[in-house]
Amino acid sequence: MQRRYRIYDVFTEKALAGNQLAVVLDTEGLAQDAMQAIAREFNLSETVFVEPADNPAHSAKIRIFTPACELPFAGHPTVGAAVCLAAERFGEPEGEQDAVVVLEEAIGPVRCGVRLFDHSGFAEFDCPKLPAEIGPAPSSDAIAAACGLTSGELLFENHRPSVWSAGVPYYFIPVQNRAALAAVEAIAPAWEATFKKDGVFLYCRDPEGHDHQFRARMLAPTAGIAEDPATGSAAAAFAGPVLKFDQPTEGDHAILIEQGYEMGRPSIIRLEITVSRASLANVRIGGGAVRVMEGMLSA
């Protein structure tokens, strides 16, 4: 059976940048092991499979696979799938077209606002779970050994390593600057001993873009992702360290995170947070998506 698919570059406004995503639109008869095999065939950080929604009021159900496993939630698949499904509904708009897409994910329904352009779009969604700190971080010495750094290259200001989840767990590791960030490499077997199979989001307040707030890298080699160009689920959880260490004032805050620059896949993730009574009231993730190819799978 032939199945339609589209490839999007996500968290970018231009092709051949950002984080690649495969969206498989025709999933009739596909079992879970077949989805996993197709995700391995694409060999992108994530592949989305679109199924009919359980709730007729929703747009679709999506299942998200890395080359190694299924995920309950991820940011760039949510953005890319929302733009893809809006384009399926409206076609190629003349000018701009707004849409609302509700995706059923394993974590729960995710409501996305979409604006379509020619072959591209922008999507923003409210995170279905607010970040929660989920455990102590490893020691600085263990982190430095696993990342190929010295202890002196870790930390900045009052930021300290922490572990958070907004549906997917991540270690958040502050480093001194862009040079230290670029020097990071996963050192086996110290990496697996320190971080197990979770993703590691390393960040500094030394971005390249003058209107950006953070520079980041995300590595998860023990989960089958050597490095990810843009990680929306990590950006969602990153709202937790931002609140804890930066203590932003009451109200809305927009934070632009650059990621993927060291890979030659520059990406920009828009993180918006609403602070109320010193707590997070809402977290939103947004970014662009550009369609770069489409075709048929014979699987």
Residues classed as catalytic: 46
**Rounded distance, CA 99 to CA 289, Å?**
15
DSSP secondary-structure letter at 96? -
8: which 2 tokens?
Answer: 């999007």
Q: How would you classify the pairing of strands 97-105 and 60-65?
A: parallel
When computed from its CA atoms, the radius of gyration of the chain, rounded to whole angstroms, is: 19
What one-letter code names the amino acid at 298?
Answer: S
**Strand ranges for 187-278 from DSSP E:** 199-204, 214-220, 225-228, 251-259, 267-276
ω into residue 161 within 30 of 0, thus cis?
A: no
Listing DSSP states for 127-196 in one string gives -SS--EEEEPPPPHHHHHHHHT--GGGB-BTTB--EEEESSSEEEEEEBSSHHHHHH----TTHHHHHHT
DSSP secondary-structure letter at 223? G
24: which 2 tokens?
Answer: 């498989």
Answer positive or negative: Cα dihedral of 255, 14, 7, 198. negative
97: which 2 tokens?
Answer: 């077209």
50, 104, 153 from 31: Cα distances, Å: 13, 18, 46
H or E stretch covering 236: helix 232-241
